[in-house]
């Protein structure tokens, strides 16, 4: 749907009225005579087409209409609305927009492994066609100074419900010892709690601590306190088991142990009891069968491991794979940034600009009309009546 | 139509012209003259020697006795009034057409009152003979019912032999070509008195000083001129055309007169006064 920034500029069309009347006044007056003898020597050319308006008139009218249209500031230009959806980890945890409720183009940004920040969204907005209506769905706070054409749907949960700290990753480095990556908001007095006897106060905003959870809980917690409100986030350590069979080369067990010192091996006694079916080795997590990594199909388990095969196994290890979670995702920023002035100026400048073809048309029309008024090219003199 | 074409002021002025003409010749007035040439308006009782064709049967029925139309004497000669009825007579305005009809009526009226016979040639198709003092009133409906000017220049063919004292008066516009005028003038040599009155419109004498798209109403040719710039050239061409026209008419034995036709609505009486001033009437 075509809309205009300055619809009042359509009033400029009225300016053409006095110009049109002036042209009518300048137009030759129809005069019927009984004879043409005394006028023959002063005849002008073009008499046969005098009823038609000169081509320069139509060009000028076209230029005038184009200028008026540009003054009105057309927006949209028939472009369908655009929905930018933040699909990063933190945003995907919120209620996503129903796909059927939006009619227009949808673009997604980020993923569970790809962080989306204001910078990425601003970059995407800078590439949107000028004047196009855009809706941004994200859990990032709405920036200040946002243009009117951008609808920022803030999908964040209430600020009070946001965690003050988070455990980014917990990785076993030794049997019973875990390496914990943590992060907390500035000003938060957080603590890592592995057991009643092991409470580690945290300093700074992020860091790595070694913990040795005791007992069978295998749970690490991060408590935080900020602005008088306590939050508590738990991180359950996964117990990974590898179901092995007798035919495997024994060195592979050492490799598994090196990758994850906390794992345990499950010998096959009865497939039905284990609930796990071949091929082997297979994975279980907290006693539940897990999908076997595809890379394991290419590993000759009966042969001794080679460095390449070990690396392949390490890459496919579900806990070992990947980096610690990005703190920007688990601890969303609270401060709303300001929409960059250069992007906003570019958008506003583009909104006020007519399409290039129209600008070119207006310029050409104006030039041609001027040439027409000046009588260029000069017509050949003709005294013959039509 | 009567009141528009021939308003009351026209007849008042016409009567004034007639009175002025009569006063110029003491003793003259508009009366019928008894004679034997023409059946007149007056009736009288039948007398021995009257012809049967003189009997006015309608008057006889009214009077209860045999009545005859009294014969009048035609003494004013024969006026051939030629009206140019080409389209150039009314180029965009009917002022000249109206003026022509008014002048034709005035000329006919005065001639008939003088005892002349009048034949009006309107273009090439319409012609009528009027004779007798009483026939004045018949001229008006004839002129009133003339068709609007149309077509190109075409003047009637006149009799090569004309009666003694026949006069020719042409009421035309200034747009006859020299060749056409000369050709037709040759055929008018049988007339002893020849007058040619060119009726001019004010816009022809002094066209507006502006850019104009001219259209010849006869040939439909078009021409674009800019008189804001070329007015002097036009005046020069117009004066040359006027002198040429008058000269050629004079050479053909005509007495040329140019008469201005102003707005038909207000020019009824003034037209007759100007015509009298220029001795057209």
* ipTM confidence: 0.77
Candidate from B38-47, B61-70, B102-111 with smallest mean pLDDT = B38-47
Structure tokens at A75: 């927006």
Do A37 and B174 lie within an 8 Å CB cutoff? Answer: no
The secondary structure of B50-111 as a DSSP string is --GGGB-HHHHHHHSS-EEEEEE---S-EEEEEE--SGGGSSS-SHHHHHHHHHHHHHHHHH
A50 touches chain B (CB under 8 A): yes
pLDDT at residue A137 in the model: 85
Model's pTM, two decimal places? 0.49
Which residues of chain B lie closer than 8 angstroms to A46, CB-CB? 224
pLDDT digit string, tens, across residues B248-273: 888 888 899 999 998 888 888 999 99
Provide the angle, in degrees to the nearest 10, between the axes of the packed helices B95-113 and B8-24: 40
In the prediction, which pLDDT does B60 show?
93
Confidence at residue A165, expressed as pLDDT on a 0 to 100 scale: 80
Which residues of B are less than 8 Å from A48 in CB distance?
Answer: 222
DSSP class per residue in A28-45 = PEEEEES--GGGGGGEES
Q: How far apart are alpha carbons B281 and B171 in whole angstroms? A: 12
Q: Mind telling me how many Å the CA of A371 is from chain B's nearest CA?
A: 21
Please give the residue of chain A at the shortest CA–CA distance from B174: A34
Q: Which residue has the tokens 């005849």?
A: A43
Q: What is the pLDDT of residue B177?
A: 78
- A12-41 residues touching B, CB cutoff 8 A: 26-41
Concatenating the DSSP letter of every residue in A230-245 gives EEEEEEEPP-EEEEE-
Task: Quote the pLDDT of residue A299.
Answer: 86
Residue among B11, B12, B14, B10 nearest B276 (CA) = B14
Query: Out of B91, B211, B241, whose CB is closest to A38?
Result: B241
- Please tell me the predicted confidence (pLDDT) of residue A216: 56
**Residues paired with B194 in a beta bridge:** B168
B197 touches chain A (CB under 8 A): no
Contacts of B221 in chain A (CB under 8 A): 36, 385-386
| Residue-level pLDDT at B30 | 47
pLDDT greater at residue B217 or residue A295: B217
**Span B13-56, pLDDT tens digits:** 988 888 876 655 544 444 555 555 566 667 889 888 888 888 88
CA distance B169 to chain A (A): 21
* pLDDT value for B266: 83
Q: Which residue of A has its CA nearest to B92?
A: A32
How many Cβ pairs closer than 8 A exist between chain A and B?
A: 106
Q: Tell me if A64 sits within 8 A of A16, measured CB to CB.
A: yes
Low-confidence ranges of chain A (pLDDT < 70): 1-3, 44-52, 75-79, 93-100, 131, 155-162, 215-217, 225-229, 268-279, 318-323, 332, 343-356, 358-359, 372-386
Partners of A54 on chain B (C-beta within 8 Å) are none
Would you state the pLDDT for residue A211? 81
């Amino acid at each position: 749907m075509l809309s205009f920034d300055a619809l009042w500029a359509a009033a400029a069309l009225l300016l053409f009225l006095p110009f049109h009347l002036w042209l009518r006044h300048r137009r030759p007056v129809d005069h019927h005579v009984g004879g043409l003898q005394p006028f023959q020597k002063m005849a002008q050319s073009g008499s046969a087409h005098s009823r038609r308006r000169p081509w320069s008139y139509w060009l000028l009218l076209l230029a005038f209409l184009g200028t008026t249209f540009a003054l009105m500031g057309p927006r949209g230009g028939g472009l369908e609305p655009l929905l930018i959806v933040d699909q990063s980890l933190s945003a995907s945890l919120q209620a996503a927009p129903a796909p059927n409720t939006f009619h227009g183009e949808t673009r997604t940004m980020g993923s569970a492994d790809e962080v989306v920040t204001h910078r990425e969204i601003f970059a995407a907005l800078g590439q949107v066609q000028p004047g196009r209506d855009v809706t941004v769905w994200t859990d990032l706070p709405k920036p200040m100074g946002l243009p009117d054409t951008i609808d920022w749907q803030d999908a964040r949960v209430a600020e009070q419900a946001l965690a003050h700290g988070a455990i980014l990753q917990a990785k076993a480095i030794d049997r019973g010892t875990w390496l914990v990556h943590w992060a907390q908001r500035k000003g938060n007095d957080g603590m890592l709690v592995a057991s009643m006897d092991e409470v580690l106060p945290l300093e700074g905003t992020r860091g790595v601590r070694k913990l040795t959870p005791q007992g069978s809980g295998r749970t690490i917690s991060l408590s935080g306190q900020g602005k008088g409100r306590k939050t508590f986030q738990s991180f359950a350590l996964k117990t990974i088991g590898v179901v092995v069979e007798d035919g495997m080369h024994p060195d592979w067990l050492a490799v598994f142990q090196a990758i994850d010192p906390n794992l345990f091996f499950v010998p096959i006694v009865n497939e039905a009891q284990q609930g796990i079916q071949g091929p082997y080795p297979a994975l279980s997590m907290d006693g539940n069968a897990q999908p076997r990594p595809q890379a394991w199909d290419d590993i000759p388990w009966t042969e001794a491991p080679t460095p390449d095969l070990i690396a392949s196994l390490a890459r496919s290890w579900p806990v070992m794979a990947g980096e610690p979670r990005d703190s920007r995702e688990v601890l969303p920023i609270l401060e709303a940034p300001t929409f960059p002035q250069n992007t906003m100026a570019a958008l506003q400048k583009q909104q006020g600009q007519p399409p290039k073809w129209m600008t070119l048309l207006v310029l050409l029309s104006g030039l041609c009309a001027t040439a027409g008024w000046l009588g260029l090219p000069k017509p050949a003199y003709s005294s013959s009546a039509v | 139509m009567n009141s528009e074409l021939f308003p009351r002021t026209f007849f008042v002025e016409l009567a004034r012209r007639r009175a002025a003409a009569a006063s110029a010749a003491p003793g003259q007035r508009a009366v019928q003259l008894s004679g034997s040439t023409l059946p007149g308006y007056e009736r009288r009782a039948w007398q021995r020697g009257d012809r049967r064709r003189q009997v006015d049967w309608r008057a006889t029925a009214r009077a209860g006795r045999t009545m005859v139309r009294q014969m009048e004497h035609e003494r004013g000669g024969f006026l051939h009034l030629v009206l140019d009825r080409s389209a150039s007579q009314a180029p965009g305005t009917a002022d000249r057409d109206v003026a022509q009809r008014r002048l034709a009526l005035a000329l006919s009226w005065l001639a008939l009152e003088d005892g002349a016979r009048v034949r009006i040639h309107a273009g090439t198709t319409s012609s009528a003979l009027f004779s007798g003092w009483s026939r004045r009133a018949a001229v008006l409906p004839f002129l009133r019912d003339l068709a609007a000017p149309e077509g190109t220049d075409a003047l009637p063919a006149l009799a090569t032999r004309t009666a003694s004292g026949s006069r020719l008066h042409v009421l035309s516009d200034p747009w006859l070509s020299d060749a056409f005028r000369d050709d037709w003038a040759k055929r008018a040599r049988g007339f002893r008195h020849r007058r040619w009155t060119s009726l001019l419109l004010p816009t022809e004498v002094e066209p507006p000083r502006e850019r104009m798209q001219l259209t010849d109403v006869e040939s439909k040719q078009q021409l674009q001129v800019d008189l804001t710039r070329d007015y002097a050239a036009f005046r020069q061409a117009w004066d040359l055309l006027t002198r040429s026209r008058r000269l050629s008419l004079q050479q053909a034995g005509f007495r040329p007169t140019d008469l201005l036709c102003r707005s038909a609505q207000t020019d009824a009486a003034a037209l007759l006064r100007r015509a009298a001033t220029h001795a057209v009437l």
